[in-house]
Amino acid sequence: MTSKLKYDIEYYILLEEDKLKRKVLSDKKKVVIKIGSASLAHSETGRLDLAKMERLVRILANLRNQGKDVILVSSGAIAVGRNALGFSDKPTEISMKQACAAVGQARLMMVYQKLFAEYNQVAAQILITKDTMLNDISRKNAQNTFNELFRMGVIPIVNENDTVSTDELDTSVFGENDTLSAIVTALVGGDLLILLSDIDGFYTDDPHMNKKATLISCVDEINDELLNMAKSSTGCNLGTGGMATKLSAAKIANASGADMAIISGEDVRNINRLIDGKGIGTLFLAHKAKDFNIMDYIRTKTKQYS
């Protein structure tokens, strides 16, 4: 057997294994989808891409029509607020960010509510802080609210409450909404988390900087090698989450029993393609840990940055 033939056979086997792993995604019943500021806005102006938001809402409403429970974790409040207030640059002072978030969150939800209403779908807003999760009563109340909204057929739209919380603003504890979406997935017992990103998956290196970087299709286990590949920042001035935070989110989601995928947010129809089993993005396979406790993660992070 020639080396090329051996390589072709091994590659074919890997493709078939990948197809089998992705085939089960269509059976997922509780799906959390995270979209970041960079995916929501036009890169040239920072203003909301309304056409993309309409496509996203249509896809989520259709998933709900299929009988799936759906949560949208949406960034964008600060970006929308800064645009409404006429600031061209990303604010740096925490008080300014919080003011932008106060304006932007209301406007963002107004857009979402109008779009979901077009598809006869009810949406709800849930704003979470680190303290929501740390406090046993608040965490249970949040969990009960999610479950009741699912029972009513409502799609919750989640964001961190930036007007009172600084955890996302300094990107240390909750970090950004990648981590928040993984925590929400664990809280509600989700079985699939989808991160819409500015690149189309997890690469061996930053594809914006290294043209030889290759896409990793499927990850069975997050090891030190993968962690070393991750980058902690992106080149975009709208979002806050890099690949390091996405790997952190994958570790939480996988340990809680959920698969996680990173796919390109450039075309939100990739959500359907992923769930249909197409070989796009990077899929991180669940491996539920018997001793998993989301509180351990949050408390560790809190002590680390306090």
Q: pTM of the full predicted structure?
A: 0.88
Average pLDDT score over residue span 29-39: 94
Residue 46 has pLDDT above 80, yes or no: yes
What structural domains and CATH numbers belong to the chain? Answer: 3-305 (3.40.1160.10)
**Cβ atoms 219, 202 nearer than 8 A:** yes
**SS3 state of residue 119:** coil
Which tokens belong to 233?
């920042």
Residue 303 has pLDDT above 60, yes or no: no
Residue 231: predicted pLDDT: 56
Paired with 107 in beta bridges are none
Residue 305: predicted pLDDT: 43
**How sure is the predictor about 306, in pLDDT bands with cuts at 50, 70 and 90?**
very low
Residue 181: predicted pLDDT: 95
Residue 14: predicted pLDDT: 60
Dihedral angle sign, alpha carbons of residues 295, 300, 305, 306: positive
**SS3 state of residue 70:** strand
Lowest mean pLDDT among 110-124, 137-151, 191-205: 191-205
Residue 175: predicted pLDDT: 53
Which are the contacts of 298, defined by CB distance < 8 A and separation ≥ 6?
130, 133, 134, 173, 183
Residue 237: predicted pLDDT: 44
Residue 127: predicted pLDDT: 94
Which are the contacts of 82, defined by CB distance < 8 A and separation ≥ 6?
46, 90, 91, 100, 104
Among candidates 245, 181, 250, 264, which has minimal Cα distance to 218? 250
**How sure is the predictor about 240, in pLDDT bands with cuts at 50, 70 and 90?**
very low
**How sure is the predictor about 253, in pLDDT bands with cuts at 50, 70 and 90?**
very high
Average pLDDT score over residue span 180-205: 93
Q: Look up residue 251 and give its amino acid.
A: K
Average pLDDT score over residue span 92-101: 90
pLDDT tens, residue by residue, 258-287: 999 999 999 999 999 999 999 999 999 999
Residue 48 has pLDDT above 50, yes or no: yes
**How sure is the predictor about 290, in pLDDT bands with cuts at 50, 70 and 90?**
confident
Residue 204: predicted pLDDT: 86
pLDDT tens, residue by residue, 53-89: 999 999 999 999 999 999 999 999 998 999 899 888 8
Average pLDDT score over residue span 222-242: 63
**Cβ atoms 253, 184 nearer than 8 A:** no
Among candidates 74, 40, 19, which has minimal Cα distance to 274? 19
Residue 235: predicted pLDDT: 46
Q: What percent of the chain has pLDDT over 70?
A: 85
Q: Look up residue 49 and give its amino acid.
A: D
Roughly how many angstroms between the first and final C-alpha of the chain, as a whole number? Answer: 59
